[in-house]
Amino acid sequence: MSQTLQAIRGMNDILPDEAELWEQFEDSIRGWLRAYGYRPIRLPLVEPTPLFTRAIGAVTDIVEKEMYSFTDSLNGEQLTLRPEGTAGCVRAVLQHNLLYDGPKRLWYQGPMFRHERPQKGRYRQFYQIGVEALGFSGPDIDAELIMMCQRLWDDLGIEGIRLELNSLGHPDERLQHRNALIGYFEGHAALLDADAKRRLHTNPLRILDSKNPEMQSIIEGAPRLTDYLGADSLKHFEGVQEFLKDAGIPYRINPRLVRGLDYYNLTVFEWVVDSLGSQGTVCAGGRYDGLFAQLGGKPQAACGFAMGIERLLSLWEEQGGKPARQVPDVFVVHQGEPAQRFAFKVAEELRNSGYATQLHCGGGSFKSQMKRADASGALLAVIIGDDEAAANEVSLKTLREASDQQRVAYDQLAEAIGELLFDWEDDNGGI
Ligand code: ATP
Ligand code: MG
pLDDT at 430 over 70: no
Beta partners for residue 330, in sequence order = 357, 380
Closest CA to ligand 1's atom 5: 260
Atom of ligand 1 nearest to the CA of 279: 3
Model pTM score:
0.89
Q: What is the mean pLDDT of residues 156-173?
A: 93
In this prediction, residue 202 has a pLDDT band, given cuts at 50, 70 and 90, of confident
Tell me what pLDDT residue 431 has: 46
Instruction: Look over the chain and give the mean of its residue pLDDT values, rounded to a whole number.
Output: 92
| Cα 66 to ligand 2 centre (Å) | 8
Q: Write down the H helix ranges in 254-391.
A: 291-294, 309-318, 337-352, 366-376, 386-391
Which is more confidently placed, 53 or 191?
53
β-pairing verdict for 46-48 and 330-334: unpaired
DSSP state of 228: G
| Cα 10 to ligand 2 centre (Å) | 14
CA of 284, nearest ligand number: 1
Q: What is the mean pLDDT of residues 325-348?
A: 94
At 58-99, the pLDDT tens digits run: 878 888 899 999 999 999 999 999 999 999 999 999 999 999
User: How far is the C-alpha of 355 from the C-alpha of 359, rounded, in Å?
Assistant: 12
- Angstrom distances, CA of residue 139 to CA of 242, 244, 268, 362: 9, 10, 12, 62
pLDDT at 322 over 60: yes
At 372-400, the pLDDT tens digits run: 999 999 999 999 999 999 999 999 999 98
At 7-37, the pLDDT tens digits run: 999 999 999 989 999 999 999 899 999 999 9
Q: Is 118 in the pocket of ligand 1 (CB under 6 A)?
A: no
| Cα 281 to ligand 1 centre (Å) | 7
**What percent of the chain stands above pLDDT 90?**
74
Q: What is the mean pLDDT of residues 182-201?
A: 89
pLDDT at 1 over 70: no
Q: Which of 40-44, 323-327, 395-399 has the highest mean predicted lDDT (pLDDT)?
A: 40-44
